[in-house]
Structure 1
Amino acid sequence: MNFKPVTKGEFVIVGLEHSGPYSTMDQLPKLWDDFIQRMGELSDRVNEKAELGVCFDDPHEFTYIVGAEVSSTARIPEGMTSRRIPEQKYLVFTHRGDLSQLGETYKKIYEEWLPQSGYQRDGDAPFFELYDERFLPDNSEGSELDLYIPIK
Protein backbone atom coordinates (compact mmCIF):
# COMPACT_ATOMS: atom_id res chain seq x y z
CA MET A 1 0.00 0.00 0.00
CA ASN A 2 1.24 3.45 -0.81
CA PHE A 3 1.38 5.96 2.04
CA LYS A 4 3.20 9.07 3.10
CA PRO A 5 4.21 10.01 6.64
CA VAL A 6 3.20 13.54 7.67
CA THR A 7 3.00 15.65 10.78
CA LYS A 8 -0.18 17.71 10.90
CA GLY A 9 -0.20 20.66 13.24
CA GLU A 10 -2.98 21.29 15.72
CA PHE A 11 -6.32 22.07 14.11
CA VAL A 12 -9.95 22.67 15.04
CA ILE A 13 -12.95 20.98 13.45
CA VAL A 14 -16.51 22.28 13.69
CA GLY A 15 -19.39 20.07 12.65
CA LEU A 16 -22.03 17.55 13.64
CA GLU A 17 -21.23 14.79 16.11
CA HIS A 18 -22.49 11.26 16.69
CA SER A 19 -21.47 9.08 19.65
CA GLY A 20 -22.55 5.53 20.33
CA PRO A 21 -21.74 1.86 20.10
CA TYR A 22 -20.18 0.57 16.90
CA SER A 23 -23.55 -0.94 15.97
CA THR A 24 -24.77 2.61 15.23
CA MET A 25 -22.22 3.28 12.48
CA ASP A 26 -25.04 2.94 9.96
CA GLN A 27 -26.16 6.42 11.09
CA LEU A 28 -23.06 8.10 9.64
CA PRO A 29 -24.41 8.60 6.08
CA LYS A 30 -27.34 10.59 7.51
CA LEU A 31 -24.91 12.62 9.63
CA TRP A 32 -23.00 13.46 6.43
CA ASP A 33 -26.24 14.38 4.64
CA ASP A 34 -27.25 16.66 7.53
CA PHE A 35 -23.85 18.34 7.54
CA ILE A 36 -23.84 18.90 3.78
CA GLN A 37 -27.20 20.67 4.13
CA ARG A 38 -25.75 22.93 6.87
CA MET A 39 -22.10 23.44 5.92
CA GLY A 40 -22.86 26.90 4.53
CA GLU A 41 -23.44 28.00 8.13
CA LEU A 42 -19.75 27.60 8.95
CA SER A 43 -17.56 30.66 8.98
CA ASP A 44 -13.77 30.86 9.05
CA ARG A 45 -13.25 27.64 7.10
CA VAL A 46 -9.59 26.92 6.38
CA ASN A 47 -10.38 25.18 3.07
CA GLU A 48 -13.76 25.65 1.39
CA LYS A 49 -13.21 22.48 -0.67
CA ALA A 50 -12.41 20.04 2.15
CA GLU A 51 -14.56 18.26 4.69
CA LEU A 52 -13.41 15.90 7.42
CA GLY A 53 -14.73 12.84 9.16
CA VAL A 54 -12.89 12.55 12.50
CA CYS A 55 -13.23 9.42 14.63
CA PHE A 56 -12.41 9.10 18.32
CA ASP A 57 -12.72 5.46 19.27
CA ASP A 58 -12.33 3.14 22.22
CA PRO A 59 -13.13 -0.56 22.61
CA HIS A 60 -16.81 0.02 23.42
CA GLU A 61 -17.99 3.03 21.42
CA PHE A 62 -16.92 5.74 19.04
CA THR A 63 -17.49 9.42 18.44
CA TYR A 64 -17.52 10.65 14.84
CA ILE A 65 -17.56 14.29 13.82
CA VAL A 66 -18.29 15.32 10.27
CA GLY A 67 -17.24 18.88 9.66
CA ALA A 68 -14.59 21.24 8.41
CA GLU A 69 -11.37 22.71 9.69
CA VAL A 70 -11.83 26.28 10.93
CA SER A 71 -9.48 29.07 11.97
CA SER A 72 -11.78 30.35 14.73
CA THR A 73 -14.53 29.02 16.96
CA ALA A 74 -15.98 32.47 17.64
CA ARG A 75 -19.22 31.45 15.89
CA ILE A 76 -20.28 27.81 16.15
CA PRO A 77 -23.68 27.18 14.54
CA GLU A 78 -26.43 25.92 16.82
CA GLY A 79 -26.37 22.14 17.18
CA MET A 80 -22.76 21.86 16.02
CA THR A 81 -19.71 21.14 18.13
CA SER A 82 -16.01 21.88 17.96
CA ARG A 83 -12.97 19.79 18.80
CA ARG A 84 -9.32 20.74 18.94
CA ILE A 85 -7.08 18.02 17.48
CA PRO A 86 -3.49 18.23 18.75
CA GLU A 87 -0.42 18.02 16.52
CA GLN A 88 0.13 14.43 15.48
CA LYS A 89 2.21 12.21 13.21
CA TYR A 90 0.14 10.30 10.65
CA LEU A 91 0.48 7.83 7.85
CA VAL A 92 -1.69 9.06 4.98
CA PHE A 93 -3.26 6.44 2.71
CA THR A 94 -5.47 7.21 -0.29
CA HIS A 95 -8.69 5.26 -0.75
CA ARG A 96 -9.65 5.03 -4.41
CA GLY A 97 -13.07 4.05 -5.65
CA ASP A 98 -16.50 3.58 -4.18
CA LEU A 99 -17.25 4.47 -0.55
CA SER A 100 -18.81 1.04 -0.10
CA GLN A 101 -15.25 -0.34 -0.21
CA LEU A 102 -13.88 2.03 2.45
CA GLY A 103 -14.22 -0.62 5.16
CA GLU A 104 -12.05 -2.97 3.08
CA THR A 105 -9.36 -0.31 2.77
CA TYR A 106 -9.33 0.19 6.56
CA LYS A 107 -9.22 -3.57 7.07
CA LYS A 108 -6.17 -3.90 4.81
CA ILE A 109 -4.42 -1.06 6.62
CA TYR A 110 -5.14 -2.20 10.18
CA GLU A 111 -5.11 -5.98 9.81
CA GLU A 112 -2.57 -6.59 7.06
CA TRP A 113 -0.29 -3.65 6.36
CA LEU A 114 0.19 -1.95 9.75
CA PRO A 115 1.17 -5.08 11.76
CA GLN A 116 3.96 -5.82 9.27
CA SER A 117 5.10 -2.22 8.72
CA GLY A 118 7.18 -1.43 11.79
CA TYR A 119 4.86 1.50 12.56
CA GLN A 120 2.67 1.55 15.65
CA ARG A 121 -0.77 3.15 15.67
CA ASP A 122 -1.35 5.77 18.35
CA GLY A 123 -4.62 4.44 19.74
CA ASP A 124 -5.15 7.52 21.91
CA ALA A 125 -5.28 9.88 18.93
CA PRO A 126 -8.23 10.25 16.55
CA PHE A 127 -7.97 9.17 12.93
CA PHE A 128 -9.68 11.06 10.17
CA GLU A 129 -10.80 11.07 6.56
CA LEU A 130 -10.15 14.05 4.29
CA TYR A 131 -12.72 14.59 1.54
CA ASP A 132 -11.45 17.24 -0.87
CA GLU A 133 -11.99 18.07 -4.55
CA ARG A 134 -10.75 14.58 -5.50
CA PHE A 135 -13.78 13.02 -3.80
CA LEU A 136 -16.54 12.43 -6.33
CA PRO A 137 -19.68 11.06 -4.67
CA ASP A 138 -21.32 10.35 -8.03
CA ASN A 139 -18.23 8.88 -9.71
CA SER A 140 -17.12 5.94 -7.63
CA GLU A 141 -14.32 4.77 -9.92
CA GLY A 142 -12.57 8.14 -10.14
CA SER A 143 -13.10 9.13 -6.51
CA GLU A 144 -10.31 9.53 -3.94
CA LEU A 145 -10.09 10.46 -0.27
CA ASP A 146 -7.23 10.42 2.22
CA LEU A 147 -7.13 8.41 5.44
CA TYR A 148 -4.96 9.83 8.23
CA ILE A 149 -3.86 7.06 10.62
CA PRO A 150 -2.13 8.37 13.77
CA ILE A 151 1.21 6.80 14.69
CA LYS A 152 3.52 7.00 17.68
Structure 2
Amino acid sequence: MTPKIINTKPIVIVGLKANLSFTTNGQGTAKLAKQFMPNRNHIVNRVGSEKFSIQIYDQFDYSKMSPNTLFEKWIGVEVSNAKALPCDMEVLTIPTGQYAVFNYKGKPDGFFKAWQYIHTTWLPKSGYNLDDRPHFEKLPEDYHPSNPEVEEEIWVPII
Protein backbone atom coordinates (compact mmCIF):
# COMPACT_ATOMS: atom_id res chain seq x y z
CA MET A 1 0.00 0.00 0.00
CA THR A 2 1.52 3.27 -1.13
CA PRO A 3 -0.29 6.41 -0.05
CA LYS A 4 -0.72 9.78 -1.68
CA ILE A 5 0.45 12.63 0.57
CA ILE A 6 -2.18 15.38 0.58
CA ASN A 7 -2.28 18.79 2.24
CA THR A 8 -5.84 19.70 3.16
CA LYS A 9 -7.68 22.90 3.81
CA PRO A 10 -10.13 22.79 6.74
CA ILE A 11 -12.87 20.23 6.11
CA VAL A 12 -16.28 21.10 7.59
CA ILE A 13 -18.40 18.06 8.43
CA VAL A 14 -22.08 17.88 9.39
CA GLY A 15 -23.09 14.65 11.04
CA LEU A 16 -23.67 12.63 14.17
CA LYS A 17 -21.21 11.53 16.83
CA ALA A 18 -20.91 9.01 19.65
CA ASN A 19 -18.26 7.90 22.12
CA LEU A 20 -17.15 4.36 21.25
CA SER A 21 -14.37 1.88 21.93
CA PHE A 22 -12.79 -0.62 19.56
CA THR A 23 -15.06 -3.23 21.18
CA THR A 24 -18.25 -1.22 20.52
CA ASN A 25 -17.13 0.33 17.20
CA GLY A 26 -18.93 -2.12 14.91
CA GLN A 27 -22.35 -1.88 16.52
CA GLY A 28 -21.94 1.78 17.46
CA THR A 29 -20.96 2.81 13.94
CA ALA A 30 -23.88 0.83 12.49
CA LYS A 31 -26.26 2.59 14.89
CA LEU A 32 -24.86 6.03 13.96
CA ALA A 33 -25.11 5.22 10.25
CA LYS A 34 -28.74 4.07 10.63
CA GLN A 35 -29.55 7.39 12.32
CA PHE A 36 -27.58 9.46 9.84
CA MET A 37 -28.32 7.94 6.44
CA PRO A 38 -32.08 8.72 6.23
CA ASN A 39 -31.35 12.39 7.04
CA ARG A 40 -28.20 13.00 4.98
CA ASN A 41 -30.14 14.38 2.03
CA HIS A 42 -31.53 17.15 4.27
CA ILE A 43 -28.02 18.56 4.69
CA VAL A 44 -27.57 21.66 2.53
CA ASN A 45 -24.34 22.94 0.99
CA ARG A 46 -22.85 19.45 0.57
CA VAL A 47 -19.46 19.11 -1.06
CA GLY A 48 -19.18 15.90 -3.07
CA SER A 49 -21.13 12.71 -2.50
CA GLU A 50 -18.76 10.89 -0.14
CA LYS A 51 -19.59 10.00 3.44
CA PHE A 52 -16.99 10.40 6.18
CA SER A 53 -16.30 7.93 8.99
CA ILE A 54 -14.17 9.87 11.49
CA GLN A 55 -12.29 8.86 14.63
CA ILE A 56 -10.96 11.41 17.13
CA TYR A 57 -8.57 9.98 19.71
CA ASP A 58 -7.41 11.67 22.93
CA GLN A 59 -3.87 10.55 22.16
CA PHE A 60 -3.25 8.02 19.45
CA ASP A 61 -0.54 5.57 20.47
CA TYR A 62 -0.98 2.27 18.66
CA SER A 63 1.26 0.42 21.14
CA LYS A 64 -0.99 1.44 24.06
CA MET A 65 -4.35 0.78 22.42
CA SER A 66 -6.65 -1.91 23.70
CA PRO A 67 -10.14 -3.09 22.78
CA ASN A 68 -11.43 -0.69 25.45
CA THR A 69 -9.66 2.42 24.10
CA LEU A 70 -12.28 5.16 23.81
CA PHE A 71 -12.62 7.60 20.92
CA GLU A 72 -15.18 9.95 19.42
CA LYS A 73 -16.79 8.55 16.27
CA TRP A 74 -18.47 10.70 13.63
CA ILE A 75 -20.53 9.80 10.57
CA GLY A 76 -21.11 12.76 8.28
CA VAL A 77 -20.68 14.59 5.00
CA GLU A 78 -18.56 17.55 3.96
CA VAL A 79 -20.28 20.93 3.54
CA SER A 80 -19.14 24.30 2.22
CA ASN A 81 -20.76 25.93 5.25
CA ALA A 82 -22.88 24.71 8.14
CA LYS A 83 -25.46 27.46 8.46
CA ALA A 84 -28.54 25.23 8.39
CA LEU A 85 -28.31 22.00 10.38
CA PRO A 86 -30.87 19.20 10.30
CA CYS A 87 -32.26 18.15 13.68
CA ASP A 88 -29.73 16.52 16.02
CA MET A 89 -26.80 17.06 13.64
CA GLU A 90 -23.57 18.70 14.77
CA VAL A 91 -20.58 20.35 13.10
CA LEU A 92 -16.96 19.21 13.17
CA THR A 93 -14.12 21.08 11.49
CA ILE A 94 -11.11 18.95 10.60
CA PRO A 95 -8.13 21.33 10.71
CA THR A 96 -5.72 21.99 7.87
CA GLY A 97 -2.92 19.48 7.69
CA GLN A 98 -1.06 16.77 5.87
CA TYR A 99 -2.55 13.29 5.39
CA ALA A 100 -1.31 9.99 4.04
CA VAL A 101 -4.22 8.71 1.94
CA PHE A 102 -4.43 4.98 1.29
CA ASN A 103 -6.86 3.36 -1.13
CA TYR A 104 -8.42 0.25 0.35
CA LYS A 105 -10.30 -2.21 -1.82
CA GLY A 106 -11.32 -5.56 -0.45
CA LYS A 107 -13.54 -7.39 1.96
CA PRO A 108 -14.93 -5.23 4.77
CA ASP A 109 -13.38 -7.57 7.36
CA GLY A 110 -9.93 -6.99 5.81
CA PHE A 111 -10.01 -3.29 6.68
CA PHE A 112 -8.50 -3.87 10.14
CA LYS A 113 -5.46 -5.64 8.67
CA ALA A 114 -4.87 -2.71 6.31
CA TRP A 115 -5.26 -0.29 9.23
CA GLN A 116 -2.75 -2.31 11.30
CA TYR A 117 -0.27 -2.39 8.40
CA ILE A 118 -0.45 1.41 8.05
CA HIS A 119 0.30 1.98 11.76
CA THR A 120 2.78 -0.83 12.44
CA THR A 121 4.69 -1.09 9.15
CA TRP A 122 4.20 1.86 6.83
CA LEU A 123 4.24 4.70 9.38
CA PRO A 124 7.43 3.65 11.27
CA LYS A 125 9.31 3.30 7.95
CA SER A 126 7.84 6.38 6.27
CA GLY A 127 9.81 9.21 7.88
CA TYR A 128 6.52 10.77 9.00
CA ASN A 129 5.05 11.00 12.48
CA LEU A 130 1.41 10.72 13.40
CA ASP A 131 -0.28 14.08 14.01
CA ASP A 132 -2.94 14.74 16.63
CA ARG A 133 -5.85 15.40 14.26
CA PRO A 134 -8.87 13.32 13.27
CA HIS A 135 -8.34 10.06 11.39
CA PHE A 136 -11.02 9.31 8.82
CA GLU A 137 -12.24 7.24 5.94
CA LYS A 138 -13.95 8.63 2.86
CA LEU A 139 -16.64 6.28 1.64
CA PRO A 140 -18.33 6.46 -1.77
CA GLU A 141 -22.06 7.19 -1.90
CA ASP A 142 -22.87 3.54 -2.66
CA TYR A 143 -20.70 2.16 0.18
CA HIS A 144 -22.36 -0.53 2.26
CA PRO A 145 -20.49 -2.79 4.71
CA SER A 146 -22.43 -5.85 3.53
CA ASN A 147 -20.90 -5.59 0.04
CA PRO A 148 -18.45 -8.46 -0.48
CA GLU A 149 -15.85 -5.98 -1.75
CA VAL A 150 -15.70 -2.36 -0.64
CA GLU A 151 -13.62 0.58 -1.74
CA GLU A 152 -12.67 3.49 0.51
CA GLU A 153 -9.89 5.92 1.32
CA ILE A 154 -8.09 5.76 4.67
CA TRP A 155 -6.80 9.22 5.73
CA VAL A 156 -4.03 9.19 8.37
CA PRO A 157 -2.87 12.56 9.81
CA ILE A 158 0.90 13.01 9.50
CA ILE A 159 3.61 15.59 10.10
Task: Report if TM-score (shorter chain) is over 0.5.
Answer: yes
| Cα separation, partners in 2 of 1:64 and 1:136, compared to 1, 3 Å | closer
User: Is the contact made by 1:134 and 1:145 (CA closer than 8 Å) also made in structure 2?
Assistant: no
User: Is the contact made by 2:51 and 2:141 (CA closer than 8 Å) also made in structure 1?
Assistant: no
Q: How does 1:20-35 map to 2 (within 5 A)?
A: 20-26=20-26, 27-35=28-36
Gaps of 5+ in 2: 60-68
Instruction: Determine the C-alpha separation between the residues in 2 that align with 1:139 and 1:73.
Output: 31
Cα distance, 1:135 vs. partner?
Answer: 4.0
- TM-score for both structures, normalised by structure 2: 0.85
User: Is the contact made by 2:106 and 2:151 (CA closer than 8 Å) also made in structure 1?
Assistant: yes
Corresponding position of 2:72: 63
Matched, 1:148 2:155: yes
Instruction: Determine the C-alpha separation between the residues in 1 that align with 2:29 and 2:55.
Output: 11
| Cα separation, partners in 2 of 1:78 and 1:126, compared to 1, 3 Å | same
Where does structure 1 differ by over 3 angstroms across 4 or more consecutive aligned residues?
Answer: 20-23, 133-139
Kindly provide the amino acid, as one letter, of the partner of residue 154 in structure 2.
Answer: L
**CA displacement 1:55-78 (0-9 Å, x = unmatched):** 101255200110000011111111
Instruction: Determine the C-alpha separation between the residues in 2 that align with 1:15 and 1:54.
Output: 10
Find the partner of 2:117 among 100, 108, 123: 108
Gaps of 5+ in 1: none
User: Is the contact made by 2:10 and 2:94 (CA closer than 8 Å) also made in structure 1?
Assistant: yes
Instruction: Determine the C-alpha separation between the residues in 2 that align with 1:46 and 1:140.
Output: 28
Find the partner of 1:125 among 121, 124, 133: 133
Root-mean-square deviation (CA, aligned residues, Å) is 1.8
Corresponding position of 1:36: 37
Instruction: Determine the C-alpha separation between the residues in 1 that align with 2:128 and 2:139.
Output: 25
| SS class of match (1:67) | strand
Query: Percent of aligned positions with the same letter in both sequences?
Result: 31
- Number of aligned positions between the proteins: 149
| SS class of match (1:69) | strand
